Amino acid sequence: MSNNKRLTSSPIIHHFTKLGSTNDTAKSLLEEGHEPAFWVVCDEQTKGRGRRSKEWVSLKGNLFASTTRRITTEPNKRASLSLVAGLAVVDAINKATEEPSSELTLKWPNDILVKEAKLGGILIEAQQSVRPDQTDLIIGIGVNIIANPVVEGRDTICLQSLDIQISRDKLLEHLTNTFQNRINQWDEGRNIEEIKAHWMEKTSPLGTMLTVKCGPEYITGAFMGLDTYGALQIKLNNNTIQTITGGELVSLIEKEKT
Ligand code: BTN
């Protein structure tokens, strides 16, 4: 069941009690002709998807939401928008607390962590828009509010266990605001440098040793920051800098298990 709400100067939010995946429903709504930027949220998500074809275990009471944005088709815009989304989620959670938490961090490309434990994740998918020079992005956001799933090989955490009490609807209200604020700051990518600077404040210090899984390959090196558009840069043993546009940071323990 969908119940569409539009508050003054607020985005349209399509609310459903139960869905497979909010990203899939957002895609269907785009195909039916609904114009971005709208949001889809559900109380129960039965086929939540994570990055790299992983399942997103969707425990009832947590946030499952997707928003849509129409952008001009340039390959780098998607990467930089990913940083925007991560910052918006951190901003929204910080609004629920008395003072911003320095414990909330971002892991490239856009995991939301508290001391290495995963609190939330973002899945960005793209589809051709009505006009050939435009792309529609579906930005799916999951935040563990009241429960954290047991996921093999990684720690997870939820807001409640951090003593952050916030309802799903309040967090969504903050998120719709913070997302739009960060989108405005991003300014269609013209202000990516400012976004990158804020993102860098929330991630591991430069020089941290990272391992990235790119397909079947593992690449280890020192974190050197982000390139112009938000791709990850690491310095390899042979002192060359490698730019990584797609991949997943893994812990060394995870790597050793394989
Ligand atoms: C990840 O870290 O792997 C990304 C997780 C994204 C999960 C959200 S929940 C709402 C939206 N719908 C989905 O099916 N996935 C995203």
pLDDT digits (tens, 9 = 90+) for 17-40: 999 999 999 999 999 999 999 999
Reported as a single tens digit per residue, the pLDDT across 147-195 is: 999 998 889 999 999 999 999 999 999 999 999 999 999 998 889 999 9
249 falls in which pLDDT band (50, 70, 90)?
Answer: confident
In this structure, the strands spanning 63-72 and 111-114 are: unpaired
Q: What is the mean pLDDT of residues 216-234?
A: 92
Confidence bin at 9 (pLDDT 50/70/90): low
Q: Is 64 in the pocket of ligand 1 (CB under 6 A)?
A: yes
Q: Residue 17 class from Cβ within 10 Å (0-12 exposed, 13-18 middle, 19+ buried)? A: exposed
Mutate to test the pocket of ligand 1, among 47, 141, 143 (most ligand atoms within 8 A of CB): 141
Check whether domain 2-201 has CATH 3.20.20.110, yes or no: no
Q: In angstroms, how far is CA 236 from the centroid of its own chain?
A: 27
Where do the domains of the chain lie? 2-201, 209-257
Q: What is the pTM of this model?
A: 0.91
Give the pLDDT score at 229. 86
The average pLDDT across 196-207 equals 95
CA 50 / ligand 1 centre spacing (Å):
5
SS (H, E, C) 117-155: EEEEEEEEEEEECCCCCEEEEEEEEEECCCCCCCECCEC
CATH number listed for the domain at residues 209-257: 2.30.30.100
Are 206 and 224 a contacting pair, CB within 8 Å?
A: yes
Contacts of 209 (CB under 8 A, 6+ apart): 220, 221, 222, 223
Tens of pLDDT, residue by residue over 66-91, are 999 999 877 677 788 889 999 999 99
At residue 1, the pLDDT reads 52
Q: Name the residue of 123, 143, 145, 157 to mutate for ligand 1: max ligand atoms within 8 A of Cβ.
A: 123
- Asked if residue 14 has pLDDT above 90, the reply is yes
